[in-house]
Chains A and B, each alone.
Chain A
Amino acid sequence: DAGVIQSPRHEVTEMGQEVTLRCKPISGHDYLFWYRQTMMRGLELLIYFNNNVPIDDSGMPEDRFSAKMPNASFSTLKIQPSEPRDSAVYFCASSLVAGSIEAFFGQGTRLTVV
């Protein structure tokens, strides 16, 4: 069974541009999480969904960040406009069912904003 699939693996963009990161969770998983990883702050939870519904977006840093999950097999994290301080590795993770918080991570998208 394929794991969590993220695309692109690497993204380099200019400041001010819109960036869209994509995630396909493991089939059958009810929960989807977006994390950001930086050297300074480690792994930070940005937002998570249950059955495609956003449950907690308190970790989203600014209004420039938005996330959607239009169906059970796809989610996007969008940054508009992007800034250099958004440079980080963004991970998507999913977990199976309620009561299990064993999250499985994708390989991440390394975003560089210049």
Chain B
Amino acid sequence: GQQLNQSPQSMFIQEGEDVSMNCTSSSIFNTWLWYKQEPGEGPVLLIALYKAGELTSNGRLTAQFGITRKDSFLNISASIPSDVGIYFCAGSLSNSGYALNFGKGTSLLVTP
């Protein structure tokens, strides 16, 4: 499948700081999703984006679908310790049916 490039690989921040991570692809995607995975659990869907330029929020999380359709970012404002986990971007190519391609993830650590 198409590989997504996700950055940074890891982040180590203090509680209260804002976080930004992004995802790029060499191909055009028609859908971007952001997931969070905690240890021993499966990925949990955070935000879904369906239109280029779309900006969507879910509580302290905000994600945008890049205008070129080749990138997306996720911001977390005022981080808290329970934000710890691995954040994955996932995208769907327009001609790949309903299969998702995943990035390698951004590991987030938040210290109190």
Chain A residues, Cβ within 8 Å of B98: 31, 48, 50, 95, 98, 101
**Is B103 in contact with chain A by the CB < 8 A criterion?**
yes
Report the minimal beta-carbon distance from B35 to chain A, rounded to whole angstroms. Answer: 8
7 contacts between A and B (CB under 8 A): A45-B1, A45-B100, A55-B97, A56-B97, A59-B1, A91-B42, A108-B41
Complex Cα distance, B59 from A40, in Å, reads 32
B88 proximity list for chain A (CB < 8 A): 43
The total of interchain contacts (Cβ-Cβ below 8 angstroms) comes to: 51
The 3 closest A-B pairs by CB, nearest first: A105-B42, A43-B102, A42-B104
Q: Is B48 interfacial (CB 8 A cutoff)?
A: yes
Contact with B along A35-57 (1 / 0, CB 8 A): 10000001111001010000110
- Residues of chain B with a CB closer than 8 A to A93's CB: 42
Q: Which of B33-92 contact A (CB under 8 A)?
A: 33, 35, 40-45, 48, 88, 92
Give the dominant DSSP class at A's interface. Answer: strand
Give the CA-CA distance A56 to B104 in the complex, in Å: 22
B48 touches A107 (CB 8 A): no
Q: Does B99 contact A (CB under 8 A)?
A: yes
A42, B1: Cβ atoms closer than 8 Å:
no
Q: How far is the CB of B63 from chain A (nearest CB, A)?
A: 13
Partner of A44, one of B1, B45, B103: B1
CA A50 to CA B97, docked complex, whole Å: 10
A43–B88 Cα gap in the complex (Å)?
A: 9
Which listed residue (A42, A59, A104, A108) contacts B45, Cβ 8 A? Answer: A104
Minimum CB distance partner of B101 in chain A: A45
Distance between A74 CB and nearest chain B CB, rounded to angstroms: 18
